[in-house]
Chains A and B, each alone.
Chain A
Amino acid sequence: MILFKKMYRDIRHSMLSYIACAIIIMIGLMTYTSMMMARDNLISARDEFYTEQNFADGYIKLTGAPSNIVDRVSKIKGISHAEGRIIKDVRVIFENEKRNVSLRLVSGINDGTINKTKILEGRLPLQGEPSAVIGTKFYKARRLHPGSVLIIASEGRKIELNVSGSGQSPEFVFAIKNNLDMLPDPETFEIAYVDKALAEQITGMQGKINDIVFKMDGSRDYKDIEREIKDDLRAYGIENVFAKKDQPSNSMLNEEFKQLEKSSQTIPVIFLMVAAIILYIMLKRLVEQQRGQIGIMKAFGYRYSAILSHYASYGIVTGVLGGILGGIAGIWLSFVYTDLYKVYYSFPNLKASVSFGYFIGSIIVSTFFCIIAAYIGAKNVLRLSPTEAMHPPTPSFGKKTFFESIPGFNKIFTLQGNMAVRNLFRNYKRTLLVLLGIVFTFALMSSMLSISSLFTDILMDHFTKVQQYDIKVVFSRPSDSLDASSEMKSQNGVMKVESLFEMPAQLTRMNYKKDTIIIGLDSSSQLYKIYDTKGNITPVPDDGIMLSKHIAESLNADVGSTIVINSPYANDADIKLRVSCIINQNIGSNAYMSKKALGKITGSSHVSTSLMVLADKNAISEIKDKYATAKNVSLIEERQETIDKYNKMMATSAGSIWIMALISVFTVFAVIYTSSMISLEERRREISLLRLIGMKLSEVMEIITVEQWIIGIIGIILGIPMGYMFNAGIVKGLSSDLYSIPTQMGMEALFQSAMGVALAILMSNIWLRRSVKKINMIESLSAGVRE
Chain B
Amino acid sequence: MQPLMTANGICKYYKMGDVIVEALKDVSFDIFEGEFIVVLGPSGSGKSTLLNIIGGMDGASDGELFCDSIILHNANEKALTEYRRNSVGFVFQFYNLIPNLTAFENVKLSADISKTPLDSATALEIVELSDRMEHFPSQMSGGQQQRVAIARAIVKNPKILLCDEPTGALDYSTGLSVLKILKDFNQKFNKTVIIITHNAGIAEIADRVFYIKDGTLSKIVKNDNPLSPEEVSW
Contacts and interface: CB of A to CB of B under 8 A. Distances in A.
Contacts of A418: 101, 105
Given A689-B96, A695-B85, A784-B94, A415 B169 contact: no
A692 B90 contact: yes
Contact of B58 (A398, A686, A778): A778
A692 B97 contact: no
Interface stretch (A248-256, A419-427, A629-637): A419-427
B225 interface: no
Contact of A415 (B97, B112, B114): B112
Contact of A396 (B92, B102, B138): B138
Interface centre among A691, A694, A778, A784 (most CB of B within 10 A): A694
B100 A398 contact: yes
Interface residues of A, number: 34
Nearest to A694: B85
Interface in B72-101: 81-86, 89-90, 92-101
A693 B84 contact: yes
A694 B58 contact: no
Contacts of B112: 414-415
Contact of B137 (A423, A695, A778, A787): A787
Given A398-B137, A399-B136, A418-B105, A694 B81 contact: yes
B159 interface: no
Given A398-B99, A415-B105, A694-B86, 6 more contacts: A398-B102, A415-B112, A695-B85, A777-B57, A786-B94, A787-B95
B5 interface: no
8 contacts: A396-B99, A398-B102, A398-B139, A693-B109, A695-B85, A778-B58, A782-B48, A786-B169
A693 B158 CA distance: 11
A316 B85 CA distance: 47
B110 interface: yes
B99 A787 contact: yes
B108 interface: yes
A689 B90 CA distance: 9
Given A686-B98, A694-B113, A781 B92 contact: yes
A398 B136 contact: yes
B208 interface: no
B97 A787 contact: yes
Interface string A388-410: 00000001111110000000000
Contacts of B95: 786-787
A732 interface: no
A696 interface: yes
Interface of B: 48, 52, 55, 57-58, 81-86, 89-90, 92-102, 105, 108-110, 112-114, 136-139, 152, 156, 169
Given A399-B136, A415-B109, A695-B85, A784 B93 contact: yes
A423 B90 CA distance: 24
A695 B102 CA distance: 19
Interface centre among B58, B86, B100, B152 (most CB of A within 10 A): B100
A659 interface: no
A398 B101 contact: yes
A669 B108 CA distance: 33
A787 B100 CA distance: 10
A787 B139 CA distance: 12
A730 to B, nearest CB: 42
B101 A695 contact: no
Contacts of A415: 101, 105, 108-109, 112
A785 interface: yes
A415 to B, nearest CB: 5
A396 to B, nearest CB: 6
A358 to B, nearest CB: 48
A672 to B, nearest CB: 20
Nearest to B90: A692
Given A397-B136, A415-B108, A784-B93, A693 B152 contact: yes
A685 interface: yes
A699 interface: yes
Nearest to B87: A694
B100 A422 contact: yes
Q: Which 3 A-B pairs have the closest CB atoms?
A: A694-B85, A398-B136, A694-B84
A692 B57 contact: yes
Interface centre among A395, A400, A781 (most CB of B within 10 A): A781
Contacts of B96: 685, 689, 781, 787
A778 B52 contact: yes
A423 B84 contact: no
A426 B137 CA distance: 14
Nearest to B88: A694
A689 B86 contact: no
Given A694-B84, A778-B52, A786-B94, A395 B152 contact: no
Contacts of A691: 81
A695 to B, nearest CB: 6
Contact of A693 (B52, B90, B101): B90
Contacts of B99: 395-396, 398, 686, 787
B55 to A, nearest CB: 8
A583 to B, nearest CB: 59
Nearest to B168: A784
Given A398-B136, A778-B57, A778-B58, A423 B85 contact: no
Given A415-B109, A418-B105, A694 B82 contact: yes
Interface centre among A399, A691, A692 (most CB of B within 10 A): A692
A426 B57 CA distance: 29
Given A395-B138, A778-B58, A782-B48, A689 B113 contact: no
Nearest to B165: A784
Interface string A195-239: 000000000000000000000000000000000000000000000
Given A399-B136, A693-B84, A777-B57, A426 B110 contact: no
A418 B98 CA distance: 12
A610 B157 CA distance: 90
Contacts of A419: 98, 100-101, 109
Nearest to B109: A415
Contacts of B109: 415-416, 419, 690, 693
A777 B58 CA distance: 9
Interface in A120-177: none
A464 to B, nearest CB: 57
Nearest to B155: A693
